[in-house]
Structure 1
Amino acid sequence: MSSDYSARHLSVLEGLEAVRKRPGMYIGTTDSRGLMHCLWEIIDNSVDEALGGFGSRIEVILYPDDSVEVRDNGRGIPVDVEPKTGLTGVEVVMTKLHAGGKFGGGSYAASGGLHGVGASVVNALSERLDVWVDRGGETHHMAFRRGEPGYFADPAAGPTPQAEFSPFVTGSKLETTGKVAKARTGTRTRYWADRQIFNKSASFSFEDLLTRARQTAFLVPGLELVVRDERNPLEPSEQTFRFEGGAKDFVDFVAPDAAVTATWELRGEATYTETVPVLKANGHLESEEVERNCVVDVALRWGKGYDNEVRSFVNIISTPKGGTHQAGFEQGLVKAMRKVIETNARRLKLTGKDGAERIEKDDIMAGLTAVVTVRIPEPQFEGQTKEVLGTTPVRAIVSKVVETELGAIMSSSKRDDKTQATIVMEKIVAEMRARVAARKQKEISRRKNALETSSLPAKLADCRSNDVESSELFIVEGDSALGTAKLARRSDFQALLPIRGKILNVQKASVTDMLHNAECASIIQVLGAGSGRTFDLEQARYGKIILMTDADVDGAHIRTLLLTLFFRYMRPMVDAGRVYAAVPPLHRVEVMGSARREREYIYTYSEKELQETLRDLKRAGRRYKEDIQRYKGLGEMDADQLAETTMDPEHRTLRRITAADAQAAERVFELLMGNDVGPRRDFIVAGAADLDHSRIDA
């Protein structure tokens, strides 16, 4: 590197050269995410037209030649000459950075576009881009190669980026290619992403496109979006989205659990002022204090679970990292709920120790699904990728709307509103109590050492090892099995916790009922990692949780109840693959000895396996005792038998419980253990013919 450094070493990148040199500044990455971001920029331009009331339909088509086309029936890009540059509106929008109709000129009251670089950036990063505009009874066309306008000598087969390209030399021209009805307007944009910029493996995701189209259709009621994938000509795929309910329908769609309240809509608007540079008629920017209008639309509801789902949008642009509008929503939510709960403290029995506890945001957010949308002119985003809203006054406006509107619903005298308000308040108070209880459990559930006494349940037979990875907790059915298991276990790393009969069905019960249930509380306390949203996998006291129940229908029922508890309140244990079911044998066959062979015991785990084993013994000419032992419960086994078959790591079989498909697992648990009896009855009736009656001990 030379020590000589002067002005001649400086580079000035003009126009679209800067975009091609540093694409990450404008689209984030050059992998599939960046490729999809370019598509969002073109789609959002069409959505802005619909948002302003000028369009009702958008089509997105993925072609086999790696190109994509976006069509709309909006007003169409202006085709007349822009006086400052002397270029047509189409060329200005497609080739000039920071140019467009979204700088406060009155074209859009609210839009997703902010910086005026979206279409021009896509053009700069495209090997070829074509735009057709229907306007004034004519179809206008212009083509670009890597941002430069010109002509492509396309073959008869259709447009291709490989066609010979001739750039304009003396002046660019917007070509008129046909006639259309005067009432017909709109824009069609087709482009081929430049593989000199994007990774070779980058591709358009049809699933992501469907998700974005569905989301947009929810947020712009009445807008029809058609998404078509023609990349496989033999199996083209097409989906159409159109919704009339807006954010309310969106909440019902994204909610992860069953509802306990109706979906409430909170709407309002207010004005604020901000000092911004304003483009004057003479073409100069002058700072001026302007009044803005902020429209707030929030839809929310509470569900049975404790996971929350909050999605925020500004002018239909998703803000996955939140911003001032989401902060205002949470602030207003907390204020409203604290106020109404304090007013109803006596009815909610918030007295004594509970009264000293303060409702926290996490208590309120548990089980909440919400869609927060605001519409403001010229929003201040943090960066071109628009993931965080930075407009400061929006926070106070959203907070005020949520606090006022939600407070009115929670204090309403209408019967339905009062009933649902009571359900929500009881749920929030229960979450607060669960959080407090979990905190106390964590404090008292540390593994005992020589300097402290254990306050764990007396019926726990703990192990000696402090190594979490190697330790195992057996949850056994009944005290009779506990006695045998104590003799069969290896006390250095195997702990035992007996439960009495069938525990509470937590799929139906509330959090409070679950914590008050002695068996559920003991399991949570012994595990020492909390429950629900406060569960901390790192604090778990055992590496494996093994459910050891009898090999009969009652044992299967108890195992299902236990799995329901783990799935709903200690889900990370299941996701981490640390919950197992023991597999005890059903039969023991005593094979007679001979002069050459010693007496032998064979364990079988199903009726079919037993019959096959007996058939093999007869074929081999070996004799066995006809009185085959059938184990109806773990308590019928001797300690050495239980150790050999079910507890000894060297010989046992464990069945790992997984939840690879969480949604399917959730549906199964709700079907088998939930409040809705009808579907469960249908399931039982449908499967009755397949039931092996010999498996029922009766």
Structure 2
Amino acid sequence: MAKSTYSADDITVLEGLEPVRKRPGMYIGGVGMQGLHHLIWEVVDNSVDEAMNGHATEITVTLHGDGRTVTVSDNGRGIPVDRNTKTKKSALETVLTVLHAGGKFDEGNYKTAGGLHGVGASVVNALSKELVAVVRRDGAQYRMAFAKGQPTSALQKLKGAVRGSGTTITFTPDPTIFPKTDFDSATIRTRLETASFLHRGVKVTYIDDTAKTKETFLHEQGIVDYLGKVLKERKARPIHEAPFTIRKQDDPRMEMTMQWTESTDEHVRSYVNGIPTGSGGTHENGFRSGLTKAVRNYIDTHSLTPRGVKISAEDIREGLVGIVSIFISEPQFQGQTKDRLNNPEVTPAVENTIRPAMEQWMNDNRSVADSIIARIIAAARARAASRAASDAVSRKGSGKRTMLPGKLSDCIASGKGNSEIFIVEGDSAGGSAKQGRDRNTQAILPLRGKVLNTESATLKKVLENKEIQDMVAALGCGIGPSIDLANLRYDRVILLADADSDGHHITTLLLTFFYRHMPALIAAGRLYIADPPLYRIDIGKETYWAADEPAREQILAKHKGRANPEITRFKGLGEMMPKVLWDTTLNPKTRRLMKVEIDDQLETDRVISDLMGRDASARFRFIMERAEDAEAIDV
């Protein structure tokens, strides 16, 4: 029951690092795997800042044998250890225990830095079960230990003289904060290799004690080497030999490189002060604007505009693979996770750098430029044909009830808030879902059998497929470049398939379609996957639901010794009674939904291409490399 009074004593004041432990998502974006790894990035970014400003040449990251403890070490100047006059504590303790404390607010210490909020090190400390800092400065070595943001030892000056300088941070995430505290080695390795590309001449070493491996990354060509790696991993064939590259050293410092390829999509990776900006921002806006204007100017200057074809900005950038890296003194990031750059002055700065340089490069390399323009015109013609075909499909799903698929059981609230559509595998499952649903807000669209593998199909074949036509018509927002989410008839699109391997395959086929042809749906956070149970376990008078075998074994182990359990394995959703399907899978209060999100565009593209593409050798390698990990095959 709510209190009837509200006074000054009801105001809670969180001191020190309490706000971080109380609301960790505000500082690291969440406590899932992305937030967990963000702890490493915060510490690594501090070491990178030392390297960017000429104070460090080596960074070493170690994942210890437990898989949960990480050490980040650099040969920079070392965090100061003398007493801070304001906090009456050592500078080391201040940096690690006080929010918004650091050396990056004073322009004299760092010209550019990734961690300007001054919360990185202290946040890592607050969310760690244990953190130990060791500093080498002025021929001596100092150590201080912490637990959950609080000092557990005084600052100690260790015996013996040491050579060099630097900082070493070792920490273990707090399991009371994070559901899982095991780091993913591949994620760490990828981030560190990227850092070595972005900071030419900096030696980055990764030691993985869990796998007994050690790798050193050092790339003298920087982002040009990085572009080559991205092209190779994407299997994108360039249409011109040498990339276009810019290196501008004065403020703001910029490095950009790009190549047009035969691929049909655009792929740009951007960074600010070495921090990946997955959601782009003003630097990407300037890059795209300057590039588009340069190409248009070249086309106009040389009278290359084709008759009857309108060239859009998307046509110009189709097949482009680029790396954009800028360094600025006062970055304004959107949120502590630094996913998007907001500095408005950066857009014209980047645009005015790339536009004249790009025009000059094209005029100096006429044969290369003409091949690029030919590729752009071809893209414009193909886009026009694709738009005409997709518009034809979209018109069938314009939102009028008479034009909707006959097998769609629509909901009363379609087109309104809180509505959702379940795309269901098979008529049998669709029948149970139709009977068990909430007719006010839940629509059901059953599909017949396994849908088309759109990764291996032509656009013409995709648009002619009856199941895909029904999906597009039901959603009402179009497909491909003409998609308009303002016309989406539901708040959420939920994929609902059986919990067995067959169902997982169908879900993968649907995800491939949405990723390739309706990616805006994923980017907007509107696509979900339902998580129905595979097992029903009755123990005495109680019923439990298990999504898979490990969950089943966990339930059985927890209730070992009680009445003999009765275990039912569902062969499909069609076997479930409508009420059971409602209770376990459809009811918003009790169901489990997984939102489809893309953390790494490059890795997602590679996985879909390998597993769903025409090249069977990639799938064969995948199976052979993981054959020993398969304990059983669900057939």
> Common fold, TM-score beyond 0.5?
yes
Contact 1:263 1:300 in 2 (8 A): yes
Give the corresponding residue for 2:262.
304
Give the corresponding residue for 1:174.
155
Give the corresponding residue for 2:492.
none
Measured in 2, the distance between the counterparts of 1:410 and 1:188 equals: 47
- Read off the aligned partner of 2:227 and give its amino acid letter: V
Q: Which of 243, 255, 263 does residue 243 from structure 2 map onto?
A: 263
Contact 1:50 1:223 in 2 (8 A): yes
Measured in 2, the distance between the counterparts of 1:32 and 1:422 equals: 46
Measured in 1, the distance between the counterparts of 2:388 and 2:258 equals: 32
The farther-off stretch of 78-87 and 293-302 is: 78-87
- Read off the aligned partner of 1:342 and give its amino acid letter: D
Q: Which of 68, 80, 83 does residue 81 from structure 1 map onto?
A: 83
Give the corresponding residue for 2:223.
247
- Read off the aligned partner of 1:21 and give its amino acid letter: K
Give the corresponding residue for 2:548.
none
How much has 1:75 moved relative to structure 2? 0.9
| 1:187 is aligned to 2:139 | no
- Read off the aligned partner of 1:363 and give its amino acid letter: D
In the TM superposition, 1:252-401 aligns within 5 A as 252-255=228-231, 256=234, 257-261=236-240, 262-268=242-248, 293-346=251-304, 350-351=306-307, 353-354=308-309, 357=310, 359-401=311-353
- Read off the aligned partner of 1:400 and give its amino acid letter: N
How much has 1:667 moved relative to structure 2? 8.5
Residue deviations 1:209-250 (CA, integer Å, cap 9, x gap): 01100110100011121112223xxx4232221111111111
**1:135–1:419 distance in 2 versus 1, CA, 3 Å:** same
**1:83–1:367 distance in 2 versus 1, CA, 3 Å:** same
Secondary structure (helix, strand or coil) at the match of 1:82 reads: coil
Secondary structure (helix, strand or coil) at the match of 1:299 reads: strand
The farther-off stretch of 142-151 and 128-137 is: 142-151
Contact 2:72 2:170 in 1 (8 A): yes
In the TM superposition, 1:24-103 aligns within 5 A as 24-65=25-66, 66-103=68-105
Measured in 2, the distance between the counterparts of 1:467 and 1:427 equals: 42
Measured in 1, the distance between the counterparts of 2:132 and 2:394 equals: 67
Contact 1:222 1:242 in 2 (8 A): yes
Contact 2:174 2:181 in 1 (8 A): no
Structure 2 stretches of 5 or more lacking a match? 397-404, 409-422, 424-447, 449-455, 473-478, 486-511, 519-605, 619-635
Give the corresponding residue for 1:225.
204
Residue deviations 1:164-211 (CA, integer Å, cap 9, x gap): xxxxxxxxx4211133444x1111111121112111x34211111011
Give the corresponding residue for 2:212.
236
**1:244–1:10 distance in 2 versus 1, CA, 3 Å:** same
Measured in 2, the distance between the counterparts of 1:534 and 1:376 equals: 34
- Read off the aligned partner of 1:263 and give its amino acid letter: P
How much has 1:670 moved relative to structure 2? 12
Secondary structure (helix, strand or coil) at the match of 1:258 reads: coil
Residue deviations 1:501-547 (CA, integer Å, cap 9, x gap): xxxxxx9xxxxxxxxxxxx99868866989x96598x9xxxxxxxxx
In the TM superposition, 1:560-579 aligns within 5 A as none
Residue deviations 1:338-380 (CA, integer Å, cap 9, x gap): 111122334x6x13x23xx2x2121012110111111100211
Measured in 2, the distance between the counterparts of 1:186 and 1:304 equals: 46
Measured in 2, the distance between the counterparts of 1:225 and 1:410 equals: 36
**1:8–1:664 distance in 2 versus 1, CA, 3 Å:** closer
Measured in 2, the distance between the counterparts of 1:372 and 1:660 equals: 24
How much has 1:398 moved relative to structure 2? 0.5
Measured in 2, the distance between the counterparts of 1:444 and 1:105 equals: 58
Give the corresponding residue for 1:662.
609
Give the corresponding residue for 1:129.
131
Contact 1:104 1:377 in 2 (8 A): no
Contact 1:60 1:228 in 2 (8 A): yes
How much has 1:35 moved relative to structure 2? 1.3
How much has 1:329 moved relative to structure 2? 0.8
Measured in 2, the distance between the counterparts of 1:403 and 1:436 equals: 27
**1:269–1:236 distance in 2 versus 1, CA, 3 Å:** closer
Secondary structure (helix, strand or coil) at the match of 1:440 reads: helix
Contact 2:362 2:369 in 1 (8 A): yes
Residue deviations 1:133-157 (CA, integer Å, cap 9, x gap): 1111111111112222233xxxxxx
Q: CA RMSD in A?
A: 3.6
**1:48–1:571 distance in 2 versus 1, CA, 3 Å:** closer
**1:670–1:13 distance in 2 versus 1, CA, 3 Å:** closer
**1:214–1:522 distance in 2 versus 1, CA, 3 Å:** closer
Secondary structure (helix, strand or coil) at the match of 2:152 reads: strand
Measured in 2, the distance between the counterparts of 1:269 and 1:178 equals: 43
Measured in 1, the distance between the counterparts of 2:190 and 2:390 equals: 40
Contact 1:329 1:399 in 2 (8 A): yes
Measured in 1, the distance between the counterparts of 2:111 and 2:23 equals: 31
Contact 2:193 2:217 in 1 (8 A): yes
Give the corresponding residue for 1:108.
110
Q: Which of 181, 188, 196 does residue 209 from structure 1 map onto?
A: 188
- Read off the aligned partner of 2:201 and give its amino acid letter: G
Measured in 2, the distance between the counterparts of 1:134 and 1:427 equals: 56
Contact 1:267 1:405 in 2 (8 A): no
Q: Which of 151, 160, 178 does residue 149 from structure 1 map onto?
A: 151
Measured in 1, the distance between the counterparts of 2:394 and 2:142 equals: 74
| 1:197 is aligned to 2:177 | yes
Measured in 1, the distance between the counterparts of 2:237 and 2:616 equals: 12
Structure 1 stretches of 5 or more lacking a match? 152-172, 271-292, 449-464, 470-492, 494-506, 508-519, 539-566, 574-658, 672-698
Measured in 2, the distance between the counterparts of 1:91 and 1:76 equals: 13
Q: Which of 357, 374, 377 does residue 429 from structure 1 map onto?
A: 377
Structure 1 segments (4+ residues) deviating >3 Å: 267-270, 440-448, 465-469, 520-530, 532-536, 570-573, 663-671
Measured in 2, the distance between the counterparts of 1:203 and 1:35 equals: 9
Secondary structure (helix, strand or coil) at the match of 2:321 reads: strand
Secondary structure (helix, strand or coil) at the match of 1:134 reads: strand
Secondary structure (helix, strand or coil) at the match of 2:159 reads: strand
Secondary structure (helix, strand or coil) at the match of 1:81 reads: coil
How much has 1:410 moved relative to structure 2? 1.1
- Read off the aligned partner of 2:331 and give its amino acid letter: P
Measured in 2, the distance between the counterparts of 1:430 and 1:204 equals: 45
Contact 1:81 1:89 in 2 (8 A): yes
Contact 2:387 2:482 in 1 (8 A): no
How much has 1:269 moved relative to structure 2? 6.3
Contact 2:256 2:323 in 1 (8 A): yes
How much has 1:332 moved relative to structure 2? 0.7
- Read off the aligned partner of 1:439 and give its amino acid letter: R
Query: Number of residues paired by the alignment?
Result: 439
The farther-off stretch of 425-434 and 660-669 is: 660-669
Measured in 1, the distance between the counterparts of 2:169 and 2:338 equals: 22
Measured in 2, the distance between the counterparts of 1:29 and 1:320 equals: 16
TM-score (structure 1 length as normaliser): 0.58
How much has 1:384 moved relative to structure 2? 0.8
Residue deviations 1:263-318 (CA, integer Å, cap 9, x gap): 11123367xxxxxxxxxxxxxxxxxxxxxx31221111111111221011100001
Measured in 2, the distance between the counterparts of 1:445 and 1:87 equals: 68
**1:187–1:433 distance in 2 versus 1, CA, 3 Å:** same
Measured in 2, the distance between the counterparts of 1:432 and 1:425 equals: 10
